[in-house]
Homo-oligomer: A and B are copies of this chain.
């Protein structure tokens, strides 16, 4: 019961090696009777084809590598799960490694993956060396997830921050809000910038200009302070009627800051967020937010990878950019207000 090889099966069923191979792979016609004999032998010997030998001949490993900055980050892992679902269904297994948000680590991992001849790689990169990736791209399909590389022509699957933020802002505007505060991350964060662009675009579409006083850009702790300052420094009738927090951590501090100022949500002020925040089991508030659906993102990445693998070197369609559609989950943290003249 050590390890049965194709040879053993051939001997046991009295056929040649090629016949066994054909039965296993089913890519050539084989007589029904002999097929049955072979299958029986396979079952009896518990034969399982050796993946290494097989991929040496076929040059395919049925292996897809995936690199993420942090393997314990929940949203990343949901994306991985989405990708895993579609890849596993197609017979691909997933190799995973975490770069620990470290360019050197990422390169080490990619080197390992490529020496293992993965059929493709999904990559949430933490570096921006376009030349490096251009070299890699020639070896196997490379699909970027979540973060792209400036100046690199490559497949990218990422949420559409701008449109999502625009849609959410749109909704506030449609609910009569005109003075909307944006609590956003610093300008060096690309995603933050894109979300702000969407926010501004929605305002502009309504003929409004973003009011600089209402736009906060700071780290999470700074955001809390700035928001408090905003409310304490302005007269009540100049207060924003809604606050847009651009990520979940910010949403949490926004809620607690507003509550500590004695404002009730949504009666006194509406709050919406990009991404769902955890307000705690007991909080009655259910946030209105843009659902990021990382699993959907992963699914897209997985399907793109499959497509690329099937295309092979041929039919080099140009790089593709895909986004999951932004959906808004409506909670009870916002309300319609009377439009002011």
List A residues at the B interface (Cβ < 8 Å). 1, 48-53, 55-56, 61, 63, 70-72, 74, 77-78, 80-81, 84, 88, 93-98, 109, 111-117, 138, 249, 252-253, 255-256, 259, 277-283, 295
Q: When the two chains form their complex, are residues A71 and B80 in contact, meaning their CB atoms are under 8 A apart? A: yes
Instruction: Enumerate 26 A-B pairs (CB-CB under 8 Å) in ascending A order.
Output: A1-B138, A48-B111, A48-B114, A49-B115, A50-B115, A50-B117, A51-B115, A51-B116, A52-B61, A53-B56, A63-B95, A70-B81, A71-B77, A72-B78, A72-B295, A84-B98, A94-B95, A95-B95, A252-B281, A255-B282, A277-B281, A278-B280, A278-B281, A279-B282, A280-B281, A282-B283
Partner of A74, one of B74, B98, B138: B74
Q: When the two chains form their complex, are residues B84 and A93 in contact, meaning their CB atoms are under 8 A apart? A: no
Closest beta carbon of chain B to A161's beta carbon, Å: 22
With both beta carbons as reference points, the residue of chain B lying nearest to A61 in the complex is identified as: B52
Partner of A52, one of B94, B117, B282: B117
Inside 8 A of A280's CB, which chain B residues have their CB?
A: 252, 278-283
The count of identical subunits is 2
Closest beta carbon of chain B to A304's beta carbon, Å: 19
Q: When the two chains form their complex, are residues A112 and B93 in contact, meaning their CB atoms are under 8 A apart? A: yes
Q: When the two chains form their complex, are residues A81 and B74 in contact, meaning their CB atoms are under 8 A apart? A: no
With both beta carbons as reference points, the residue of chain B lying nearest to A295 in the complex is identified as: B72
Closest beta carbon of chain B to A57's beta carbon, Å: 9
Closest beta carbon of chain B to A333's beta carbon, Å: 14
Partner of A93, one of B51, B56, B116, B283: B116
Give Cα A112 to B249, complex, Å: 40
Give Cα A179 to B111, complex, Å: 59
Inside 8 A of A53's CB, which chain B residues have their CB?
A: 52, 56
Give Cα A295 to B52, complex, Å: 31
Q: When the two chains form their complex, are residues A81 and B72 in contact, meaning their CB atoms are under 8 A apart? A: yes
Closest beta carbon of chain B to A95's beta carbon, Å: 5
Q: Which of A72, A78, A253, A256 has the most CB of B within 10 A?
A: A72
Partner of A56, one of B56, B81, B259: B56
Q: Which of A56, A88, A93, A253 has the most CB of B within 10 A?
A: A93
Inside 8 A of A253's CB, which chain B residues have their CB?
A: 281
Inside 8 A of A109's CB, which chain B residues have their CB?
A: 88
Give Cα A4 to B249, complex, Å: 49
With both beta carbons as reference points, the residue of chain B lying nearest to A259 in the complex is identified as: B282
With both beta carbons as reference points, the residue of chain B lying nearest to A113 in the complex is identified as: B93
Give Cα A72 to B76, complex, Å: 8
Closest beta carbon of chain B to A92's beta carbon, Å: 10
Closest beta carbon of chain B to A222's beta carbon, Å: 16
With both beta carbons as reference points, the residue of chain B lying nearest to A65 in the complex is identified as: B93
Q: When the two chains form their complex, are residues B95 and A282 in contact, meaning their CB atoms are under 8 A apart? A: no
Give Cα A266 to B317, complex, Å: 64
Known: A56-B50, A280-B280, A281-B252. A84 touches B71 (CB 8 A): yes
Inside 8 A of A249's CB, which chain B residues have their CB?
A: 281
Q: When the two chains form their complex, are residues A52 and B48 in contact, meaning their CB atoms are under 8 A apart? A: no
Q: When the two chains form their complex, are residues B84 and A97 in contact, meaning their CB atoms are under 8 A apart? A: yes
Closest beta carbon of chain B to A224's beta carbon, Å: 10
Closest beta carbon of chain B to A274's beta carbon, Å: 16
